[in-house]
A and B are shown apart, each in its own frame.
Chain A
Amino acid sequence: MSTQRLVRIRLAVAYVAIGVIVLTALILTQSFPNVALWAAFAVPFVYLEWRAVEVNDQLMASSTIMVALTGGTIFALEGSSAALGIATIAALGPLVPRDFRERRWFQPAVNFGQLVISAGSAGLALDLLIPSGIDPGAAGNIALVVGAASVAAIVYAVLNYGQVRTIVRLAFGRRDIRPWSGMAMILVSYLVMGVLGGFLGIVYGAVGFAVLPLILVVFVAGHYTFASYGELREAHEATLRGFIKALEAKDLYTRGHTERVAYFAQLIGEDLGFRGSRLERVRVAALIHDVGKLAVPRDLIRKRGRLTEEEYGDLQAHAHVVEDILAEVEFLRPMVEIASGHHSQFDGNGYGGSGHQHGQRPAMEARILAVADAFDAMTSTRSYRMALSQDYAFDELRRNAGTQFDPHVVESLARALARTGERYGSPGFTDEEQARRMAEGRTRGRN
């Protein structure tokens, strides 16, 4: 724990020092751009950076750098230093109110240094490739300027992404993160932004200052809407989570079950390499996997012992009605299907709604949900027995791997929990019978 902290302090100090040195060197040797022009790019950049950090989206991050690159192209065309111009703009990026509110020091410090390095290098590329005083409207020069801006975008992307991944790997001990994996997509989006920055620089050169507000308005509007969209999605998931939590909170024994299953499903999904919308699908499917029970009369859920045939049918009917309602929400339809398949077995047995097809292997997402659900069921206390130990739960999952559960998914959960170092269940209970007797004894004693 303390060695991690030491690593973080060292990294932060080193990056702040490097950032300050690079900035000082640039200020001493280079000519600063026109201040009004600089501010015209610095203000939107800072605004977009704030919004992007609040929502944390890669697409938005790449559009933010487009603003800086357009500025750099224009600085270089005007004969001042793009390196100094962009590096000073980028240095403002880490001044995010959210970090200050939450008293974070590491991210702003490291970001300051790495942004100065990445943006400064991109600016240098622009300075070297664009001769000052050329006519940007001439046919040959258009290709030159656009090419230079693309090179600068690539330089920025490689340095920025590589540094961020390396820092996360070092500072948070995430050995699974490799600096260059997943780079290809990012390069493409930055390249597009670079080409755009180049063209915008040319148009600015030909039209003049009047064109700047027009350029920025469209981007800020798009950006703002994207951020609102991100907030709305968060609100959607938070609402779903909140409602389900509130509804299940009424029952002491299933309280928190949904959220834990969602968490385990997410851990497994991440371990299996799920990302983006596929990971979201698993997480949301886990959130709604028991939603059918919310409409079932409570005494039926909490009934001890076996349900009668009639009661069981009643329970299933209620569960399916709620599933049908949720399936009307287009966004939730695939998740409802996964959720309704979570009682399917790996070998094709079991039962379930639309997501279950007898004799067929269920979808990967449903297999994940089955393991996460079973694991939490065993490691949490129920009305009829105490929580079992984590080791017992894994023995049980492994014993049924290949028939009821997917062996890969079981191992994936074991790996993920070993990595986080968390333990669930009560370590004392390694025997189901014992746990049942304890629960019965306890309630009998209370009554």
Chain B
Amino acid sequence: MGGTEPAPRSRLMDVMWAMAAAALFVLLLIEAPGELAGILVAVAALAGASQIMVPATSGNRLSLGFAVAAAVPLVMRTPGGAIDLVASGAVFVGGALVSWAIAVLRGEEAVISLAIALRRAVGAGVYAAILRYVAPTLGGWGLDPDAAELIGFTLGSVIWFLLEMFLWAFVTFGRRRISRRYLWLLAVKDWMVALSLLATGALFGFAYARVDLWAAVVVVAVPYAFAHLAFHRYQDARTTYWQTIRALSRIPEVAGLSPDGHGDRTSAMAVEVGQRLGLSPDEVEDIRFAAMMHDIGRVTLNEPNVIKMGFTEEDIARWGAEIIAESPYLDRIAHLVRQQHHPYRRPGEFKDLELPMASKVIKATSAYDHATTELGFSHLEALEVLHRGAAYDYDPDVVEALREIADANL
């Protein structure tokens, strides 16, 4: 993906941003009525936890820092019991600075990692402010103070999560050729992991404030460890599943029945086209699998009777779908592979509305890869083939998206 990275900015700007954040941190630290030691411990905990990543459903990674940040306002209270916004803010900014320093030491890009760290601090600050002002207001209306605090937490964490995800989608959109709809849906997919992180933090905060540190640690550590293990196992299983699908799809390729690497290239490109077209993350995932396996039917081509009788593109699609349908979990994929040979529209007919978008994407992408590798066409010649077939063999929208992706990948 060359050419899509932002232009490097001067080192001076990074240093200035970091110094401004550091000044804010010192200012908050001086203003905070709480103990200095407490704030520093919380900063260390926040920065440390931010290094522990949790694989989330979308394939993105959320950090355990979410949990610690959720606990901070509940723990940092004034002697009167109210939430101490200044101390919480100091912890958020301090944690962001330390995380940023660690990221830079690890060799990550300075501007981007500072932006990420400060974005987190802003989101957490919004959460703390909602918690600080909503809970007492609700309490003033005669609601039970615990229930008021829980409602404040729920409201604050939902807004925080949406804000964080919106900013992530916004920034990523600026950097890559992906539709907003796709990114937004992808980000929201992680709600369950985010919710368990936030609830873990809040539980710690409540238990710490009312019982003691050790009760809080036990109550939080065991359920969270269970959930953490589950998230990791799930992600590992997903990776394994994909790798196995890929390996099986390569069997016709190594047997010399299908061009080498065709499945890999088609899958990678079809995913980008699907993202560009604004399909949902689930649909894009289906495209990834179906495009990888779309030529698996070719494994039958060394059958003596196939060699004798010959075959058509439709046969390959059908044989592939039959093989894939043997696995009860891949019904959707089998359907997509079966449909992939269908033209968008036959002359004199209306377009087929039943034809899944994923199948149209696979058909066009596979043709592009075939043209550029097997037929030895150039990028422009291959696009010319697609353009000539647009509105008959290929969906014009798909061809348009594919052209943009292919141009960018040059």
- Near A by CB (< 8 A), chain B positions 204-220 give 206-207, 210-211, 215-216, 218-219
- Near B by CB (< 8 A), chain A positions 158-216 give 192-193, 195-196, 199-200, 202-203, 206-211, 213-215
- Could you tell me the distance between the alpha carbons of A129 and B202 in the complex, rounded to whole angstroms? 30
With A217-B195, A229-B234, A246-B323 known to touch, is A207 a contact of B146 (CB < 8 Å)? Answer: yes
Taking a contact as CB atoms under 8 Å apart, the answer to whether A318 and B227 are in contact is: no
Taking a contact as CB atoms under 8 Å apart, the answer to whether A229 and B237 are in contact is: yes
Complex contacts, A233 vs chain B, CB 8 Å = 237
With A63-B226, A222-B226, A247-B323 known to touch, is A235 a contact of B241 (CB < 8 Å)? Answer: yes
Which of A9-17, A292-300, A371-379, A400-408 is found at the contact surface with chain B? A292-300
Taking a contact as CB atoms under 8 Å apart, the answer to whether B203 and A214 are in contact is: yes
Nearest CB of chain B from residue A34's CB, rounded to whole Å:
15
Contact with B along A282-302 (1 / 0, CB 8 A): 000000000100111111000
List the A residue with the shortest CB-CB distance to B240: A331
Nearest CB of chain B from residue A119's CB, rounded to whole Å:
21
A47 within 8 A of B: no
B192 within 8 A of A: yes
- Near B by CB (< 8 A), chain A positions 294-340 give 294-299, 318, 321-322, 325-326, 328-332
The B contact surface, by secondary structure, is: helix
Taking a contact as CB atoms under 8 Å apart, the answer to whether A207 and B210 are in contact is: yes
Taking a contact as CB atoms under 8 Å apart, the answer to whether A137 and B210 are in contact is: yes
List the B residue with the shortest CB-CB distance to A296: B255
List the B residue with the shortest CB-CB distance to A136: B211
Taking a contact as CB atoms under 8 Å apart, the answer to whether B199 and A328 are in contact is: no
Taking a contact as CB atoms under 8 Å apart, the answer to whether B302 and A298 are in contact is: yes
Taking a contact as CB atoms under 8 Å apart, the answer to whether A221 and B196 are in contact is: yes
Contact residue among A196, A236, A246 (Cβ-Cβ distance under 8 Å from B240): A236
- Near B by CB (< 8 A), chain A positions 268-294 give 291, 294
Complex contacts, B265 vs chain A, CB 8 Å = none
Contact residue among B207, B230, B330 (Cβ-Cβ distance under 8 Å from A226): B230
- Could you tell me the distance between the alpha carbons of A295 and B250 in the complex, rounded to whole angstroms? 10
By size class, the interface of chain A is 35 or more
Taking a contact as CB atoms under 8 Å apart, the answer to whether B210 and A192 are in contact is: no
List the A residue with the shortest CB-CB distance to B151: A210
- Could you tell me the distance between the alpha carbons of A318 and B329 in the complex, rounded to whole angstroms? 29
With A137-B211, A217-B195, A238-B327 known to touch, is A209 a contact of B254 (CB < 8 Å)? Answer: no
A243 within 8 A of B: yes
By size class, the interface of chain B is 35 or more
Complex contacts, A192 vs chain B, CB 8 Å = 222
Taking a contact as CB atoms under 8 Å apart, the answer to whether B241 and A218 are in contact is: no
Complex contacts, B383 vs chain A, CB 8 Å = none
- Could you tell me the distance between the alpha carbons of A318 and B251 in the complex, rounded to whole angstroms? 10
- Near B by CB (< 8 A), chain A positions 37-59 give none
Taking a contact as CB atoms under 8 Å apart, the answer to whether A208 and B327 are in contact is: no
- Could you tell me the distance between the alpha carbons of A151 and B6 in the complex, rounded to whole angstroms? 60
Taking a contact as CB atoms under 8 Å apart, the answer to whether B199 and A329 are in contact is: no
Taking a contact as CB atoms under 8 Å apart, the answer to whether A239 and B300 are in contact is: no
- Could you tell me the distance between the alpha carbons of A37 and B247 in the complex, rounded to whole angstroms? 51
B60 within 8 A of A: no
With A208-B146, A209-B146, A210-B149 known to touch, is A199 a contact of B218 (CB < 8 Å)? Answer: yes
Complex contacts, A384 vs chain B, CB 8 Å = none
B376 within 8 A of A: no
Contact residue among A203, A235, A291, A322 (Cβ-Cβ distance under 8 Å from B215): A203
Complex contacts, B206 vs chain A, CB 8 Å = 203, 207, 210-211, 214
List the B residue with the shortest CB-CB distance to A63: B226
Taking a contact as CB atoms under 8 Å apart, the answer to whether A235 and B329 are in contact is: yes
10 A-B pairs with CB atoms under 8 Å apart are A209-B147, A211-B146, A217-B196, A238-B329, A239-B327, A239-B330, A246-B322, A294-B255, A329-B243, A330-B239
* Nearest 4 Cβ contacts at the A-B interface: A222-B227, A242-B326, A242-B327, A295-B255
